[in-house]
Chain A
């Protein structure tokens, strides 16, 4: 009973690394269009999705974030021509390692959201929040041995 109550009250803390040139603008657009958005996302602006290296993601994850969202321009639309292609490879690599080690790979997501896709931004954040809610809190937060 107690557990269930705790789970109901759980509100995830998600860290979002948003590309300055597209997703960050999409977030702005969502705001100025007064769309409703789950307040779970803590936004960190980066200059490109390829700025997000594995250390950033891992320190965020081991620092206790319940979910991590990386968002950047659609392939082919990178402000720096090819940054998001590198980001995509790095993401695939990181995800594969988390899968091999069975370290909750579902808590990590990469999404392409362009500057005009305010609606998509809202959908992605809300859906991701729902998914993390189902997964429950990051186990690292309760682990005194890490």
Chain B
């Protein structure tokens, strides 16, 4: 099914033209994309219906103000389809949400792209992120890791979108001159019918993608080794999460953590003074706020196998804890246990909601 379309314009303009074409021909009801909000470099995700507003769209800019999967679940069913332009990890996270009945794929035209990573917040909100952009796009064209992107982005090997309807090819392309779309699905083919472009015989996979994947895998190995050394037993956990102030910001921004009432914010963890007193005499001292280590291990149990490694949790952590690296590392182990990859297939069930009779047969025998 996959085929490529080429437009002789910069990738961003080509994509905006495509979105404009879809809107003008009334094939979609709106566009969900990153856009400029103010004069001094502010940006956010927004829904756009009026084509004039596409002027402000910056669909490919390497910023991630929130993980868009969270936003998408708020308008999962509208009268007309919505074209969304999101990163591969956001798309994977949304698929994880769909599995948890927090959205549906039917009403979206999923446009994604081979992703070079995003800037951390401190670069993104510095007021002049534009300064970094030329270097960023150059390293994307060469298929290299851009050192100023997020730690998790540098270690992300799933930068080619899974389950997108349309992929814009960026890695290894001269994005200032050419825009290449890969059409994956029939839905996208029908919507794109009549769009002015040239069909070319080529593959999305390229040597540049291959090189970048290898580089990122190396980087991931390094990152994981580093986190393993730091997370070592109870003392290691206390060292690591001792800085945690218990704000639960990491779960707020996590696209997978969708529960309206998190266990850890419920009365289950409001202790009676007498319980704290018991602990005090038993251990000689008590940490407050309580349960910061427990909270992280609990969250690991609840969602680590679905972690897509977007890095939002590390970004928002006021105490500088590398939450995302720990979750990615642990998540890889837990997902492997059930031969699972978050966001790979919407039909694949969340591992703890299903079982096989013939598995894990050594458990329970001792």
Contact = CB atoms under 8 A, between A and B. Distances in A.
Interface in A36-92: 54-55, 58-59, 62, 64, 72, 74-76, 82, 85-86, 88-92
A62 B293 contact: yes
A55 B242 CA distance: 20
Determine the main DSSP class of B at the interface with A: helix
B248 to A, nearest CB: 15
Interface residues of B, number: 43
Contact of A55 (B268, B283, B333): B268
Contact of A92 (B232, B293, B297, B363): B363
Interface in A80-122: 82, 85-86, 88-94, 96-97, 99-104, 109-112
B234 interface: yes
Contacts of A142: 283-284
A140 B283 CA distance: 8
Interface in B266-324: 268, 282-287, 291, 293-294, 297-298, 300-302, 304-305
B352 interface: yes
A92 B360 contact: yes
Contacts of B338: 89
Interface residues of A, number: 42
B114 interface: no
**Which one of B236, B284, B302, B360 has the highest number of Cβ atoms from chain A below 10 Å of its Cβ?**
B360
28 contacts: A58-B294, A62-B291, A64-B282, A75-B364, A86-B355, A89-B351, A89-B352, A89-B355, A89-B360, A91-B363, A92-B337, A92-B360, A93-B301, A93-B352, A96-B334, A97-B330, A100-B333, A101-B233, A101-B236, A102-B232, A104-B233, A111-B366, A139-B234, A141-B282, A142-B283, A143-B234, A144-B283, A146-B293
